[in-house]
Amino acid sequence: MRALQVEAFGDPSALKVSEVPERAPGKGEIMLKMAGVGVGYFDGLLVKGEYQIKPPLPFVPGSAISGVVEQTGEGVTHLKVGDHVAGFALLGGMSEKVTLPAMSCFPLPKDVPLLDAANYFIAYATGLYGLRECGRLQAGETVLVLGASGTTGSTAIELAKAMGAKVIACASTEEKRQLCLDAGADVAVDYTDENWRKAVKAAAPGGVDVVYDPVSGDTAEPALRLMAPGGRFLVVGFVTGIATIPLNLPLLKRCSIIGVNWGGEVMGNPAVVPPVIEQLVAWTQEGKLKTAPDHVYPMEQAGEAFRALFERRSSGKIVITP
């Protein structure tokens, strides 16, 4: 089968299509005919060898996946051939087929488009778990989303609005800010402007209740200073580097800093998955989420998808198809 195989850690924009063998499903496994794989910084960091774990070489990247069940192994009862599913593979998704544990996949109604579901298990699930379980977001509260035009940020905007919150989105260009507004943000702020915090304060005079931060770096501390008493600062990622936060700030602001580690939670507590995916499916069917990908690349153009991602030229949700 055709796949994007990593032979050595390096630039993900150099990925090329290779021929690799299929693997028949074993006990408790299924084989999926792939529809799409959501693309994020996590995948790129794995390819670069810069993530916390380094997969043994060679490997096929791609973790947030959707597809159709083609084969089932012994003991699989909750899925059957022909079922549409969303799943989490850790590795293997950027291929024509993938074999993985059946329990890593969740069946989907046929009216949920498979390409829409390709981002369920990473971007959307991280956002819902982060805002609901970690951030305890309530209707009427205000959320500040940093790096709001990318996959992680734009899905957070949609989820926060579905939960009844006011959303202030931060993005670096006029085009990206318009995309944030199109995604549902109430206010879009240019956080490259030295006075960006004044714009946030004008939109949220009492401070923001939740900060959703997939960016970190130099933006994290100024955002933390914008929090209301009782606020929750959600650490989601480190696109621009790991921030250094003076620990007197949470004390003075009377707020909390909370790590959002969806992957770690799934591995430690698999029961967290069904209620998250079920809610995403329901909101998709109700039209509360705009789950259609903004950019779809064929496998042969995966390098361009990663190049746009790491150069921060891309916006919205990205899916690679086989």
pLDDT digits (tens, 9 = 90+) for 111-143: 999 999 999 988 999 999 999 999 999 999 999
CA gap 35, 32 in Å, rounded: 9
Residue 237 falls in which region: left (phi positive, over 0), alpha (psi -120 to 50) or beta:
beta
What is the spatial distance between Cα 203 and Cα 102, in angstroms, rounded to a whole number?
46
Cβ–Cβ < 8 Å for 143, 279: no
Cis previous bond, 58, omega within 30: yes
Please choose, from the candidates 106, 28, 25, 5, the residue with its C-alpha nearest in 3D space to the C-alpha of residue 65.
Answer: 106
pTM, full prediction: 0.91
Grade residue 306 by pLDDT with cuts at 50, 70 and 90.
confident
pLDDT at 13 over 90: no
Do the Cβ atoms of 63 and 94 come closer than 8 Å? no
Quote the CA–CA distance of 322 and 233 in Å, as a whole number: 38
Q: Which residues on neighbouring strands pair with residue 169, listed in sequence order? A: 145, 188
Q: Which two tokens stand for residue 176?
A: 């990206």
Q: Provide, rounded to the nearest whole percent, the portion of the chain with pLDDT above 70.
A: 100
Whether pLDDT at 263 is above 90: no
At 319 the pLDDT is: 94
Alpha-carbon span 317 to 153, nearest angstrom: 10
Ordered alpha helix ranges (H), 194-311: 196-203, 220-224, 248-253, 262-268, 273-285, 302-310
**Predicted local distance difference test score (pLDDT) of residue 258:** 97
Report, as an integer, the average pLDDT of 200-219. 95
Instruction: Taking residues 45-63, report their average pLDDT.
Output: 88
Task: Give the residue-averaged pLDDT of 224-237.
Answer: 96
